[in-house]
Structures are given as structure tokens and as C-alpha cells.
Amino acid sequence: MITLALMADSTASSTPRTVPSHEDRPVYVIGGGPGGLAAAYALRAQGVRAVVLEKSDKVGASWRRHYDRLHLHTTRRLSALPGLPMPRSFGRWVSRDDVVRYLEKYAEHHQLEIVTGVEVSRIEPAPGGDGWLLRATGGRELTGSAVVVATGYNHTPRLPDWPGRDDYTGELLHAGQYRNPTPYAGRDVLVVGIGNTGAEIAVDLVEGGARRVRLSVRTAPHIVRRSTAGWAAQFTGILVRRLPVRLVDRLARPMARLSVPDLSAQGLPRPETGLYSRVNEGSIPVQDVGLIDAVRKGKVEIVAAVDGFEDGKVILADGQRIGPDAVIAATGYVRALEDVVGHLDVLDPRGRPVVHGARSPKGAPGLYFTGFTNPISGMFRELALDARKIAKSVARHTATARGSAPAAR
């Protein structure tokens, strides 16, 4: 059940109000994506009232904005959220549209309490230091016993401040604005960035009839097959998740040589840094959905990194000046948490939460984060695990506040 009105404990900041007791306050979950919905269900399963605050008018807003051909790179069976399997009809690799359908069904099936059209701008300790005060759209103040921040890994598009960018008169857009290749048929397109998004958009453009597709690469990535003889790359990611980094690096090298051809001649040499070492640096392997063949056949040309723009041209790091018809920057996203929680000393120098899952940051009890890492074992799988852990932690915290033992579940 989705509610569109704010709860009774929300008021304008200038209105006198009586702060409800700790046990009367819900847990607020910020974000109506998969992480937020999973956390809300898991909290409900622990007997804790959870209210999801979503700034858009529907759940799964970020998924609705992704490009058309996107599919999960993780299997359907290992991508379900707690309490509701994904339908077999979705196939092994679930499409963007089916992910959206699933999230809508998930909220409806579990009758989650969701408030849309509300954006939280700041989180502060509640008066008296017990719980949290959320400042939201329209001057509203919401008081919660705990808060789960689930605004997502892909929150705000990041477009590098390249020299000359603001004066560039050509077509330049972030990958978050790309939907399908139709507008680029017969055109020369440069894709900047070889993460999973950039690699897939480049393939999409080739298959959609772009005249020329170049892919700008600063650092060659590890490339893995999404599935080999029925064995999904996600399965391997789960198996090695807790193994020592150096061991996984050593194991990955011979596997890469067997499954992925050497693309050095095409401009993509094998990385010198180990696969899992790169993961720990924040670089997830590129799962192949056609890039290998496109590069081998010359349909996707690898070029150097972009250094800037000048006189209507793109300047590459190797000195080349090229003039594509369009530039699509697959340059990632930022979490954009600084305004919301930056004052609480809960973020690292790169703007990421210092802890996630069941742990709250030191000095911020009852504040939780989920969905701000990109593990090789699968984002949806980790969101499901985090949701259960967070819910158990909140239930223990709530039971302690009430002076009772948590229910066994």
C-alpha cells in the first residue's frame, strides 16, 4: 500500500510540535529503489514500522531512467529481494523494464508504507539526542527512531570538468541521458569511459547503426564473460568474496587468459593490476555483452582518454584531435551525500559512507547506509543481505530502548 500523505509527526519547521516518544517514531528509509524497499520489508518482518521516503512520484526511479537495453548482469534467482522471488518469465538476465515491474510489485505485495514526492535535504540528531530529525521538502521535519539511507550508488551524474567543456558547441551528454541508439544512426559517436555502462552503450550504438563508434579509455579494465558454459560470473564473485585479495588476483589471471582473448593490438591490453585489487580500488570488471567481438572486428575503436575540448574538437591524451558528431560521457555518478549527512562525520574523503549494512558510524547510532558499494557478488544480492542485517540491528536497538527482548525471527 502506497501512501501519498505525510505521517502525523511531520510538521513545518516553524510550527510548535510535541516530539513523539522513541517507540512511537518510525524508522525512515530514504530512497524507494531496491535497497530502500528491501530494508523496509525486512524491518516490517522484524515488527518495526518503516516509512519509505521517495523524492520522485514512483518507486524505482533510477531504474526507470536507465538506457533501454540494460539487463541485470546478475542472475534472476540471485537478484530477488527478501520475501518475493522474481518471476521465471523474466528470464535469466532480467531487463530494465522487468526490474521496474518487480519493484512496483514488491511494494504492492508487501504493502509497504511509501511516501512519494518527499526529498530529504538534511539529517540531524533529534532534540535530546534520541533518534533522528529529518528536514525535508517544504520545510517539513520528521522524527525517526532510526534512519536507513538508501539513495543509491548511481545518484547524481558526474561529468568531468574537462578544459574547454563549457565552450564546446557539439553534442555532449552524460550516459544517464542516453536511452537507445536511434538518434545516432549513421553518426560518428565517441563514448567516454569503459565501465559496464560505457561498454554496453558502445555495443548498442554499433548494433543500432551508428556510422562510427569510438570508445575512450584511460585505464584498460578487466573484462570477464557474463557466463561461461552456463556458469555465471556472479557465482565466481560470490565464491571469492571473502578470499584474500592476492589469492583471487592469482586465480583470476589464468581464467582470464582462457576465457578472454588478448585485445592488446586493438588498444586494450590486459591490466597489470590484479582483478580483485582493482575491485578494492572501486573498479568493477566489465562483463562482456558483445564488446569483445565488437573490438576484435573493429566495430568499436579504442582511443585514448579525453583531455579536453578546443575549437569544436575533442582533444585526446595522445594528442589526437577528433570531431565526433556526439560525445556520450559514461563517466559515472557521485553519491551526493555531503549535504544530507556530511556534517555528521560519517563519510570518507571520497564521499562514501564509512560503514554500511548493520553497522552504524561511530557517533551516529541508528543511522544506516545500504547500496553504496558495488560488489562483484551482485548489487541486488548484497542489498538483500544488508536489509536483513539492518533490520535485526534496528530491532535490537528498538527492543533495548523499550526495555524488552527482541522477537526471535
pLDDT tens digits, one per residue of 298-315 = 999 999 999 999 999 999
How far apart CA 147 and CA 367 sit, in angstroms, is 5
How high does pLDDT run on average in the chain?
A: 91
Q: What integer is the mean pLDDT of 188-215?
A: 97
Query: Region 341-366: what's the mean pLDDT?
Result: 94
The rounded distance, in Å, linking the Cα atoms of 235 and 92 is: 13
The neighbouring-strand residues paired with 132 are: 125, 144
Give the Cα separation of 339 and 321 in Å (integer).
39
Q: What is the pLDDT of residue 11?
A: 32
| Domain covering 11-155+335-402 in this structure, CATH number | 3.50.50.60
Is residue 153 over pLDDT 90?
Answer: no
Q: For the residues of 281-343, what is the DSSP string, one character each?
A: TT-PPEEESSHHHHHHTTSEEEEPPEEEEETTEEEETTS-EE--SEEEE---EE---HHHHGG
Work out the pLDDT band at 337, boundaries 50, 70, 90.
Answer: very high
Say what percent of the chain tops pLDDT 90: 83
Residue 119 has pLDDT above 60, yes or no: yes
Query: For 105-114, what is the mean pLDDT?
Result: 98
Position 201 pLDDT exceeds 70:
yes
Task: Compute the average pLDDT of residues 240-251.
Answer: 93
- CA 134, 140, 143: angle at the middle one, nearest 5? 40
Segment among 7-11, 224-228, 276-280, 312-316 with least mean pLDDT: 7-11
User: Among 4-13, 286-295, 332-341, which stretch is predicted with the lowest mean pLDDT?
Assistant: 4-13
Please tell me the pTM assigned to this model: 0.90
Q: Which residues contact 167 (CB under 8 A, 6 or more apart)?
A: 309
Whether the Cβ atoms of residue 291 and residue 202 lie closer than 8 Å to each other = yes
Q: Which segment of 1-15, 107-121, 201-215 scores lowest on mean pLDDT?
A: 1-15
Provide φ and ψ at 170, rounded to 5°.
-80, 175
Looking at residue 18, what is its pLDDT? 35
In the predicted structure, residue 344 carries a pLDDT above the cut 50: yes
What integer is the mean pLDDT of 144-160?
A: 92
Q: What is the pLDDT of residue 401?
A: 63
Domain with CATH 3.50.50.60 in the chain: 11-155+335-402, 158-329
In this prediction, residues 332-354 reach a mean pLDDT of 94
pLDDT band at 280 (very low <50, low <70, confident <90, very high): confident
Q: Is the pLDDT of residue 338 over 90?
A: yes
Written as nine digits, the cell of 271 is 591490466
Say if residue 192's pLDDT is above 50. yes
| HSE-up of residue 93 (Cα within 13 Å, Cβ side) | 14
**pLDDT for res 111:** 97
Beta bridge partners of 149: 30, 369
For residue 90, pLDDT over 60 is answered with yes
Per-residue model confidence (pLDDT) at position 406 = 52
For 158-329, CATH number? Answer: 3.50.50.60
Closest to 54 (Cα-Cα) out of 119, 100, 103, 113: 119
Does the pLDDT value for residue 197 go beyond 60?
yes
pLDDT in tens, 378-396: 999 999 999 999 999 999 9
pLDDT of residue 147: 98
Q: How confident is the model at residue 94 (pLDDT cuts 50, 70, 90)?
A: very high
